[in-house]
């Protein structure tokens, strides 16, 4: 499969798509009755919360609605212990992760929202994503649920990689991400000063209950994961999120980016299996076979005990 489009100049980072192209999401979805909003912001009635409520309200009065403030949950950091790799083994860390996952399982549709802090999504999103080692190999449990993601940012030109990074959350959960958007607003409720923001987020909310919803592709975005951030290795363009590759072509006065999406990309069923079932389990077996060797490599550094903490410094 080839995707191409025109760009204004060589330095643009993104995957072009044909102007006006649209993607139709799966038909025949189950009726959406329970909507879950997950807001990664401590600010009460901030822009992320307001946009989430507006999107959920647009699904109609008949839907059951619940919201979770992600920053209120006790989500601990991943320990990289690999105990959770078998699909039937939950993460052994005692915190609120299973509460959150149970709520997502029970929902028919999900809204993720977060503000942009220092070019990326608010930190609780990253903590959650780090725990996906224990979730992604169980992704079939969440498969197909329609989802939207909402990013708010407070300084123009400072959106960074926030929306693309937030979108990783539903993608690793195997949710059906039907749309995402970023909205400008620094002060609480500032997003409401522009009526187009409310119109746009309501459109996204209605899409959760519309099996025929179509998302307009943006210019110069990855056709697989929608990222507009790319690496260039001197020969190929590479999406750092899904590893879709492409090339830059010059045809007369026109410069084009041409991408070749693979069916077995990182978020496909085959891609998940390759990483979570094959690669990580192989690394675990390799570690168990070589752990005494690794312990010998660690020995010179065991005695270098330079750690400090508030307790030791008091």
**d(C-alpha 81, C-alpha 65), whole Å:** 36
- Residue 16 clears pLDDT 70, i.e. is over it: no
In this structure, what are the phi and psi dihedrals at residue 64, rounded to the nearest 5 degrees?
-85, 130
pLDDT, tens digit, 9 for 90 and up, residues 129-182: 999 888 877 788 888 899 999 999 999 999 999 999 999 999 999 999 999 999
- Residue 11 clears pLDDT 70, i.e. is over it: no
**d(C-alpha 227, C-alpha 76), whole Å:** 28
* Domain coordinates in residue numbering, the chain: 1-21+217-290, 23-214
Per-residue pLDDT band at 25 (split at 50, 70, 90): very low
**Which of the residue ranges 20-29, 135-144, 145-154, 294-303 would you say has the lowest mean pLDDT?**
20-29
SS3 content of the chain, % helix, strand, coil (to 5): 35, 20, 45
Helix runs in the chain, H state only: 47-57, 97-106, 123-130, 162-172, 195-207, 269-272, 280-302, 310-313
Per-residue pLDDT band at 48 (split at 50, 70, 90): very high
Which range is most confident: 26-40, 86-100, 103-117?
Answer: 103-117
Helix runs in 141-209, H state only: 162-172, 195-207
Per DSSP, 305 falls in state -
The number of beta carbons lying within 10 Å of the beta carbon of residue 26 is 11
**d(C-alpha 150, C-alpha 167), whole Å:** 9
**d(C-alpha 256, C-alpha 15), whole Å:** 9
Q: Considering the entire predicted model, what is its pTM?
A: 0.86
**d(C-alpha 97, C-alpha 175), whole Å:** 17
pLDDT, tens digit, 9 for 90 and up, residues 97-118: 999 999 999 999 999 999 999 9
Average pLDDT of the chain to the nearest whole number:
87
In this structure, what are the phi and psi dihedrals at residue 148, rounded to the nearest 5 degrees?
-130, 155
Beta strands in the chain (DSSP E): 3-7, 22-24, 34-39, 64-69, 109-117, 120-121, 146-153, 176-184, 214-216, 231-232, 237-238, 245-251, 254-260
The number of beta carbons lying within 10 Å of the beta carbon of residue 148 is 30
Higher pLDDT, 22 or 70: 70
Q: What is the pLDDT of residue 64?
A: 95
Q: At which residue do the structure tokens 């993601």 appear? A: 149
Beta bridge partners of 245: 238, 260
Nearest Cα to Cα of residue 204 among 67, 56, 65, 103: 56
- Residue 24 clears pLDDT 60, i.e. is over it: no
Could you say which of 3.40.50.720, 3.40.50.360, 3.20.20.120, 1.10.10.10 is the CATH number of the domain covering 23-214?
Answer: 3.40.50.360
In this structure, what are the phi and psi dihedrals at residue 158, rounded to the nearest 5 degrees?
-115, 20
Q: Are 67 and 37 in contact (CB under 8 A)?
A: yes
**d(C-alpha 214, C-alpha 179), whole Å:** 9
């Amino acid at each position: 499969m080839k995707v191409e489009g025109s760009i204004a100049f060589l330095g643009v980072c993104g995957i072009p798509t044909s102007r006006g192209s649209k993607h139709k999401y799966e038909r025949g979805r189950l009726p959406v009755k329970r909507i879950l909003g997950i807001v990664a912001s401590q600010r009460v009635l901030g822009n992320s919360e307001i946009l989430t409520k507006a999107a959920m309200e647009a699904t109609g009065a008949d839907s059951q609605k619940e919201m979770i403030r992600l920053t209120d949950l006790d989500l601990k950091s991943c320990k990289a212990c690999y105990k959770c790799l078998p699909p039937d083994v939950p993460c052994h860390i005692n915190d609120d992760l299973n509460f959150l996952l149970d709520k997502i399982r029970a929902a028919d549709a999900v809204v993720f929202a977060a503000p942009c802090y220092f070019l990326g999504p608010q930190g609780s999103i990253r903590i959650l994503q780090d725990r996906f080692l224990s979730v992604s190999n169980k992704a079939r449990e969440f498969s197909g649920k329609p989802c939207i993601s909402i990013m708010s940012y407070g300084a123009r030109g400072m959106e960074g990689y926030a929306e693309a990074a937030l979108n990783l959350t539903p993608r690793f959960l195997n949710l059906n991400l039907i749309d995402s958007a970023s909205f400008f607003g620094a002060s609480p409720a500032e997003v409401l000063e522009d009526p187009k923001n409310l119109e746009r987020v309501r459109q996204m909310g209605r899409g959760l209950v519309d099996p025929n919803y179509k998302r307009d592709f943006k210019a110069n975005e990855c056709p697989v994961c929608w990222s507009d951030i790319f690496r260039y290795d001197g020969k190929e363009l590479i999406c750092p999120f899904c590893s879709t590759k492409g090339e830059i072509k010059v045809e007369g006065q026109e410069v084009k980016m041409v991408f070749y999406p693979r069916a077995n990309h990182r978020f496909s069923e085959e891609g998940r299996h390759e990483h979570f079932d094959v690669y990580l389990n192989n690394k675990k077996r390799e570690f168990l076979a070589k752990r005494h060797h690794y312990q010998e490599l660690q020995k010179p550094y065991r005695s270098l005990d330079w750690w400090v903490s508030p307790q030791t410094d008091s």
